[in-house]
Structure 1
Amino acid sequence: MAQPNSLTTPPPGSDVHMVPAGAPEPVHSAAFPPFETHTFLAQLIWLALAFGLLYWLMANIALPRIQGILHDRSARLAADLDQAQAMKAEADAAGEAYAKSLRDAQGKAREIAQGTRNDLAAAAETKRKALEAELNQKIAASEATIQSRTQEAMGNVRSIASETASAIVERLTGQAPDQASLDRALDSTATAH
């Protein structure tokens, strides 16, 4: 024999929950629990106590900590801004010092370059004058050499001309010419040219 099932099975598709046999049926109330009028006073008291406790915690613990953090942060920001301003002033001063030293170095470089140019120009002028003097000496010596050789050559030409003229006159006339008349003829020919 089969024992009776202690649970009653609802028919398929019904909205009934399974309840053990012999258990009392649950009581359903119609209102949402926070809106039940018989618990309003207790709910308002707990609301006031929770709000007061939360307000006290916020005012005495959380807000002072947040205020301290904000104060520390603003103090740190102010210190960082002051430090940045000081570093900027130092950087500006260093930049000015660098620019001044650069201008001074450029001025010195220009002075050195101008001095070097002047020294080189003076050395070149001295060397040019020395070379010019040496060249003038060589030209004068060359001219003197040329003149002495020209005179020597002219002396040789005169003796060759004298010998040649004497040989020609002797061949044509058969007699040797008089040296004095030959010298006069050569002198008159030399002054004509």
Structure 2
Amino acid sequence: MSQSTTATTVEFQVAEETAPAAAAGGEAQGTTEGTEASGGEHHGVFPPLDTKTYPSQLFWLVIFFAALYVLMSKVILPRLSAILTKRMATINGDLARANALKNETEAAVKAYEKALADARANANDIARTTREAVTKDVDAESHKLDAALAKKVSDAEAKIAASKAKALDAVEDIAANSAAEIVAALGGGKVTKAAVAKAIKG
């Protein structure tokens, strides 16, 4: 009796323990089935590749491309064109200014070289003119000195000739006087100076 009671009690406990597990298993199985049932819809075609959505996709594609075209042609491209035009104008202006400065520099160098050549030519002309003027002055002074020296020499020769003539006259007078005195001393009588001079010259 006790054994049967014990067996009944054990079966009852096993039944109690098995019932929640079975219920849980049933719920899990139901959930799995529900998930499989609901998840069956997610195993369809990828939306962008679904032919049913092509018309709407094409419509929005045209809208976006049209908006992009309008944005590019009306806003972005004009701004880019204006920026490029302004930059090109700046570059052309800088190039023109650089060419103008280059031409001015070349003109200044040519003017400097011409001025330098003219200065050298003028210096040569001035040197030649100065040399000719100095040579002319030297020649004139030389002629003046030559004339002065010739005059002095002539004056000196004239003075020498006069002195010589005067000395010769004095010598003749001395000789005449000496001769007269000698004749008188020799007893020849008194002789005049004129006669002695005539005798000396004759």
Q: TM-score with structure 2 length normalisation?
A: 0.50
Aligned to 1:168: 182
Give 3-state SS (helix, strand or coil) of 2:113's partner.
Answer: helix
Query: Could you tell me how far apart the structure 1 residues matched to 2:190 and 2:111 are?
Result: 104
Structure 1 residues 47-90: Cα deviation after superposition (integer angstroms, max 9, x where no partner) = xxxxxxxxx9xxx8xxxx99998987776555444433321221
The aligned amino acid for 2:181 is A
Give 3-state SS (helix, strand or coil) of 1:146's partner.
Answer: helix
Aligned to 1:83: 97
Residue 174 of structure 1, CA deviation: 3.2
Residue 181 of structure 1, CA deviation: 5.3
Structure index of larger Rg: 2
Could you tell me whether the CA contact under 8 Å between 2:184 and 2:190 is conserved in 1?
yes
Query: Could you tell me how far apart the structure 2 residues matched to 1:132 and 1:152 are?
Result: 29
Structure 2 residue 115 is the aligned partner of structure 1 residue 101 = yes
Query: Could you tell me how far apart the structure 2 residues matched to 1:80 and 1:113 are?
Result: 48
Aligned to 2:138: 124
The aligned amino acid for 1:182 is V
The aligned amino acid for 1:178 is V
Could you tell me whether the CA contact under 8 Å between 1:166 and 1:177 is conserved in 2?
yes
Query: Could you tell me how far apart the structure 2 residues matched to 1:178 and 1:164 are?
Result: 11
Residue 141 of structure 1, CA deviation: 1.5
Aligned to 2:169: 155
Q: Which runs of 5+ in 1 are unaligned?
A: 1-40, 42-55, 189-193
Structure 2 residue 191 is the aligned partner of structure 1 residue 178 = yes
Structure 1 residue runs of 4 or more that deviate by more than 6 Å after TM superposition = 65-75
Query: Could you tell me how far apart the structure 1 residues matched to 2:191 and 2:108 are?
Result: 108
Q: TM-score with structure 1 length normalisation?
A: 0.52
Query: Could you tell me how far apart the structure 2 residues matched to 1:124 and 1:154 are?
Result: 43
Percent same amino acid at aligned positions?
33
Higher helix share: 2
Residue 152 of structure 1, CA deviation: 0.5
Give 3-state SS (helix, strand or coil) of 1:174's partner.
Answer: coil
Give 3-state SS (helix, strand or coil) of 1:165's partner.
Answer: helix
Query: Could you tell me how far apart the structure 2 residues matched to 1:166 and 1:94 are?
Result: 104
Residue 153 of structure 1, CA deviation: 0.6
